[in-house]
């Protein structure tokens, strides 16, 4: 591996570690105490090296299943939420006990997508997590499964972990799974499949290797991990996928001689506000652009003017985050200065015409470039 890529891992100070249900539990649904203890010991050792660690954990529903003696995962939301409520306490009790044996303090943080999508709550969450780290506490994060419903779910803890990594300006994201990393094909179907150790750019071909959410490979989690890698890498954060059952896996990663797949981040790390616009915010509408406006935004870093807008979809007030679409799909997201109703009236018009059309003119730009983040 290139030395500069090894340095990304060796120098990582603030690390977000995500561990999946399959790593934490046996097939019976009960907690794998040996693996849980090994994981905690490794994270404490990272803390002793002077690094900061945030844990994003799955396993609450699985722990609840084990407590209730269930052998199959329930299918209804109320049953899942009830088991999460039972299992979350069990999971946190074990973490607190194991970290406490090494003199470490932990804090439970439960999040929903709404906590990330609302700017004020996003900033509150960021400040809380950074304060916990400053106190020398290890935050343990999970989605608030007991109250969350489909519209405000992250969808998976891989996405949650990537958003948390961006939230706290992490130096490294590690996804511990039941698979060694990204393969050239599904290793469960193709014995010739080989592990890809390094991904420098997430191309459509790379995304294709993960399958889709409905495939067996996708349901195993690789699809969501690639989506998490896109968030992390576009936020300037390297990400590693590796097998959580491997002994001393975290120590290997931060030594630079790691097993698994490393996703290399973009050279330029975008600011916290633009990361929130791109990945954390809730989309309230869509604006379609002509070819000239698309090119100006993508290649020249320009603001969006009304003259480049061809279509508006959705109803939204000023200050909303919207998706910008060009000729081949979404290219950016940004915060609008005008309502959807006003944008519909001024679309295609010159800036100097805004006053005569609306009777007022608060801004020249529909979206200023400081409030706009590319998605490509």
Where is the binding site, in residues?
18, 58, 145, 157, 177-178, 219-225
Which residues sit opposite 272 in a β-bridge? none
Check: CB of residue 345 under 8 Å from CB of residue 325.
Answer: no
- Residue list, annotated binding site for ATP: 18, 177-178, 219-225
Which residues sit opposite 358 in a β-bridge? none
**Six-digit token string for 360:** 């007022």
Q: Is 234 exposed, middle or buried (0-12, 13-18, 19+ CB in 10 A)?
A: buried
Parallel, antiparallel, or unpaired: how do β-strands 329-335 and 372-374 relate?
antiparallel
Helix, strand, coil in percent for the chain, rounding step 5 = 45, 20, 35
Distances (CA, A) of 280 to 274, 277, 342, 373: 9, 6, 26, 12
Query: Within 10 Å of residue 126's Cβ, how many Cβ atoms?
Result: 18
- Residue list, annotated binding site for substrate: 58, 145, 157
Check: CB of residue 260 under 8 Å from CB of residue 246.
Answer: no
Check: CB of residue 9 under 8 Å from CB of residue 254.
Answer: yes
């Amino acid at each position: 591996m290139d030395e500069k890529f090894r340095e990304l891992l060796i120098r990582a100070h603030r690390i977000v570690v995500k561990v999946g249900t399959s790593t934490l539990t046996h097939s019976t649904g009960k907690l794998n105490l040996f693996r849980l203890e090994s994981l905690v010991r490794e994270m404490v050792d990272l803390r002793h090296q002077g690094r900061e660690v945030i844990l994003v954990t799955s396993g609450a529903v699985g722990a609840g299943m084990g407590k209730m003696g269930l052998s199959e995962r329930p299918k209804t939301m109320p049953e899942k939420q009830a088991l999460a409520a039972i299992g979350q306490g069990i999971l946190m009790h074990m973490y607190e006990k194991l970290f406490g044996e090494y003199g470490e303090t932990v804090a439970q943080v439960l999040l929903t997508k709404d906590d990330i999508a609302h700017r004020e709550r996003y900033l509150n969450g960021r400040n809380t997590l950074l304060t916990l780290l400053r106190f020398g506490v290890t935050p343990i994060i999970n989605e608030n499964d007991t109250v969350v419903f489909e519209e405000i779910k992250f969808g998976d803890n891989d996405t949650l972990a990537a958003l948390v990594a961006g939230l706290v300006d992490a130096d490294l994201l590690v996804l511990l799974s039941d698979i060694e990393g990204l393969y050239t094909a599904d290793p469960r179907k193709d014995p010739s499949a080989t592990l890809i150790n390094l991904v420098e750019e997430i191309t459509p071909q790379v995304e294709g290797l993960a399958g889709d959410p409905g495939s067996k490979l996708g349901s195993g989690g690789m699809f969501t991990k690639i989506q998490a890698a896109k968030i992390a890498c576009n936020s300037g954060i390297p990400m590693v996928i590796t097998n959580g059952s491997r002994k001393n896996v975290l120590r290997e990663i931060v030594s630079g001689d790691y097993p698994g797949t490393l996703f290399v981040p973009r050279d330029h790390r975008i600011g916290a506000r633009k990361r929130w616009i791109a990945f954390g915010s809730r989309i309230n509408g869509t604006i379609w652009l002509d070819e000239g406006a698309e090119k100006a935004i993508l290649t020249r870093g320009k603001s969006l003017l009304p003259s480049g807008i061809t279509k508006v979809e959705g109803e939204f007030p000023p200050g909303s985050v919207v998706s910008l679409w060009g000729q081949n799909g979404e290219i950016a997201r940004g915060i609008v200065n005008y309502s959807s109703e006003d944008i519909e009236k001024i679309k295609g018009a010159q800036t100097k015409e805004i006053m005569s059309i609306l009777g007022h003119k608060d801004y020249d730009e529909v979206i200023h470039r400081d409030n706009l983040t590319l998605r490509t």
